[in-house]
Amino acid sequence: MKMAIPTLNAIEECADFSQTVGPFIPQLLEVPQKLMAVESKAALVDLYLNTNPLVTGLSLSLLISVLVLAFSEVNKNYSQVDRIWSMVPAVYVGNFALWARLAGIAAPRVDLAWAFSIIWSARLTYNYWRKGGYEVGSEDYRWPIVRKQIHPVLAFVFNVVFISLIQNILLYSLTVPVYSMLLSSQFESEVTTGDLLFYGVELILVFTEGVSDQQQWDFHSAKHEYQKTAKVPKGSNQVELDRGFLTSGLWSYSRHPNFACEQTVWFCLYQWSCYSSNILYSWAGLGSFSLFCLFQGSTWLTEKISAEKYPEYKEYQKQVSMFVPISFSGYTPPELQPKAARTSELEEKTGSNEQPSSGGVRRRGA
């Protein structure tokens, strides 16, 4: 069991890739063979404890990648990762917490991170469920568009490399900072005020993301009712419903406040791990950075579709930032913006009798 995690001399070494990850990479190739040789529950627990928890989590993510690929190709539905997106991170964090408990390592900081991940998972899973994400045949509206734009062979390669493999590894990498937090428990086993602050920030971010998702849900529910009955639901704004997309509430300051919170949630977890290791940055931030890159691409596609569907969306893009608010004045619809008065309107107001001369130069009449 002592070989499952590195022997470190200082808390800062908990974030050292060469000491905490490199030596255990060979275990990744050994896990399948050893797993097939397991014949009892005791042997399974022994294998689990003698395998680095980081390697165990990565092995699980690779297994899930294979399963997701198989299901997506059989069903011709690329939303398989979408269905588990809100669940597997909590499982991965739980892996670190479980390993620590079985190994007899006091790691309340890891337990705190696991508690946060469960709350995050429950909220996001509920939001995906109420939108019909788990209904048979449901698929993200962007995937059919992607399939139409590329050759079937390329679509398959895209499914193998990006959708099934990269996305699953990304989901795991988001939770990797907890590994550093687990290692730091060997030096600092008690929860500190800093830990509680990070936990509190995470909960605030989850709550804010929930508020933005609820605002979006309420708007689209009212919009669908309006389109069905031609009557404006109580508490709704007809102008906004006719516009077709939400521009009020948090959405008046950010075009995607829920996405902004989601990215910040995992960046905050990464910073939490840096705090626990007494460093400013580490390799564990790769997952958070990759998520940021993923949102840049997926949000670009989402907004491209919205701009083609809603005439006013480009004006919305000009006034409101994509993620982080740059102004708190909120979105001002074109119909409410002050307009420059036309020359004819000014002439009517001033009673001007200006007439063009034969040479085209205006002169004041007598």
Domain boundaries, the chain: 11-333
Question: What is the pLDDT at residue 142?
Answer: 85
User: How sure is the predictor about 357, in pLDDT bands with cuts at 50, 70 and 90?
Assistant: very low
- Least Cα distance to 239 among 332, 130, 317 occurs for 332
Of 102-111, 146-155, 259-268, 353-362, least confident by mean pLDDT is: 353-362
User: How sure is the predictor about 143, in pLDDT bands with cuts at 50, 70 and 90?
Assistant: confident
Please give the helix or strand (H or E) that residue 362 lies within, else none.
strand 362-363
CB-based contact 53:95 (threshold 8 Å): yes
* Number of neighbouring beta carbons within 10 Å of residue 189: 12
Residue 102 pLDDT greater than 90, yes or no: yes
Residue 358 pLDDT greater than 90, yes or no: no
Residue 25 pLDDT greater than 90, yes or no: yes
**Considering the chain, what is the average pLDDT of its residues?**
91
Residue 77 pLDDT greater than 60, yes or no: yes
Of 86-95, 149-158, 210-219, least confident by mean pLDDT is: 149-158
Structural Rg of the chain based on CA atoms? 27
Question: What is the pLDDT at residue 339?
Answer: 54
Angle 209-240-309 from CA coordinates, rounded to 5°: 85
With 0-12 / 13-18 / 19 or more C-beta atoms within 10 angstroms meaning exposed / middle / buried, residue 288 is buried
Residue 318 pLDDT greater than 60, yes or no: yes
With 0-12 / 13-18 / 19 or more C-beta atoms within 10 angstroms meaning exposed / middle / buried, residue 258 is buried
Residue 198 pLDDT greater than 90, yes or no: yes
CA atoms within 13 A on the CB side of 72: 28
Question: What is the pLDDT at residue 337?
Answer: 63
With 0-12 / 13-18 / 19 or more C-beta atoms within 10 angstroms meaning exposed / middle / buried, residue 233 is middle
Higher pLDDT, residue 364 or 35: 35
User: How sure is the predictor about 343, in pLDDT bands with cuts at 50, 70 and 90?
Assistant: very low
Region 253-267: mean pLDDT is: 97
